[in-house]
Chains A and B, each alone.
Chain A
């Protein structure tokens, strides 16, 4: 057998040292993720959201908060979009915490008329003064942002000022399977920040530049910025399984999942859906320290086993089954 060269020894010992450091960091920095059981959209959602924000010591006094739900298409009888009751619960909770401003913002990828979509999805009915609180990110003011060390083919993106200039950006996705990337959760929901007025409807540049890589890049770009901070509350009360994100079937998972670390939140959601998060490419890319291992996340509330609900996977993603 060939012996190790000096370079390989150096690389090997460096990796061992780095591995040890990672393990120590993991122990010290376990991401905290909450799982709350909620069987239906009811008044209990309001209390649950307030409790989630308290558990994660979310401070909003004097801050500009942007709530980013997932609005894609409307089809009666399906569960494509984040339920407006959760958005209203978040709005009320952040107002109660003393936020200087709470806006709801989204840039759907298919429909140009966002308000028509929001109205069909029930947002006008449940969210008072929705029109005055809403920013269509597809038509917002923009700023160029350079991507540092991108995984995708992108080198820069134009992003909406409403998202870049706020203090706290809250990703409020629907828990869904996705026919291209396996699962769409709080990180994939960030695609809605990319402005249609620059990239079109759909935001096809993200697809051709590598979807998983773009999800990772967009998350990393925002996670590295001093502002906005990112927080996530995933609507898994009724999610979508099968041919998501649009044509799947409603699936009751009966949970809200929340936390500051979006990859960790998404990893927990995957385990709830009985998907192996470490097989989701964009989660692999955003997990350099092994945070997504089962012992890398500190769970608050329900244990995974008590809420786990296998989401049906289309054939090409059956290998993701946990």
Chain B
């Protein structure tokens, strides 16, 4: 906790690395990790104020103050603040986003070109950057955010997007049961899964009773046993615990970034029975 508190920037945000400028992603994880700690109340207040000041006119957030485009990090802010804090425009911005491969224009184009694949047939999910394809991490984070919103706003459209997003994750699973960035095959060859994406996708699929999930949990356990990065280990621990599995990271994991530090704190919180990403 002290690491995060001492690394907060004067503007209220956090960088990926100590001494750098503030980015939305590490800031959201830092605030989530600190927000229930009384001694961090002032840091959390300043962090939230910095985030609020960064909201763009379209309702979304850019990943950094220098970037002139709202992106997937909007879902992170929605996950942190809920629709009450992030605002209706943020929710609408997220619901407008979809992977470009799921747009009717792209589907018509592919049909005319005679292209047909699992990739093209995947349900609508969320891209990192507007106008591009959907991938595992932005989809998983958006699912966590919409799950939070749907508890207070049981709208049909939100429920539908959650359903489709979860289906997207299940379709994009790798042959080993885990997830990589979101492309499980290339020219017919199977691609292996990664630790961080496997853990995060499992967290986003919490409470899901999908077929074959047992294989995904086994893949996560295999990854966790060998994982060296704090980020990967934290997501794996949280993903496994969300499905009722005991999980603890090897002692040799390495924290490289402030985001790693925040995620480790969140994983520790999850081990104590409270995961702020699922509340």
Which residues of A pack against B, CB within 8 Å? 75, 110-113, 115-116, 119, 136, 139, 141-144, 158, 179, 197-202, 204-205, 207-208, 243, 246-247, 314
Contact = CB atoms under 8 A, between A and B. Distances in A.
A199 B128 contact: yes
B191 A197 contact: no
A198 B25 CA distance: 10
A300 B231 CA distance: 46
B268 interface: no
Contact of B137 (A116, A142, A144, A201): A201
B88 interface: no
B187 A204 contact: no
B187 A200 contact: no
B64 A198 contact: yes
A201 B17 contact: no
Nearest to A202: B181
Given A111-B194, A247-B187, A200 B128 contact: yes
B192 A139 contact: no
Interface string B26-62: 0000000000000000000000000000000000000
Given A142-B66, A197-B63, A204-B135, A116 B129 contact: no
Describe B's contact surface by its main secondary structure.
loop
Interface of B: 16-17, 20-21, 23, 25, 63-64, 66-68, 71-72, 100, 127-129, 131-133, 135, 137-138, 180-181, 183, 186-187, 189, 191-192, 194-196, 227-229, 231-232, 254, 256-257
Contacts of B256: 113, 115, 136
A197 B228 contact: no
B187 A115 contact: no
- Shortest Cβ-Cβ A-B pairs, 4 listed: A200-B128, A139-B16, A204-B132, A113-B229
Nearest to B256: A115
B166 to A, nearest CB: 20
Contact of A208 (B132, B183, B192): B132
B87 to A, nearest CB: 23
A119 B228 contact: yes
B135 A144 contact: no
B129 A113 contact: no
Given A112-B196, A179-B186, A204 B127 contact: yes
A122 B195 CA distance: 19
A86 B254 CA distance: 26
A79 to B, nearest CB: 16
A199 B228 CA distance: 25
Contacts of B191: 246-247
A233 to B, nearest CB: 27
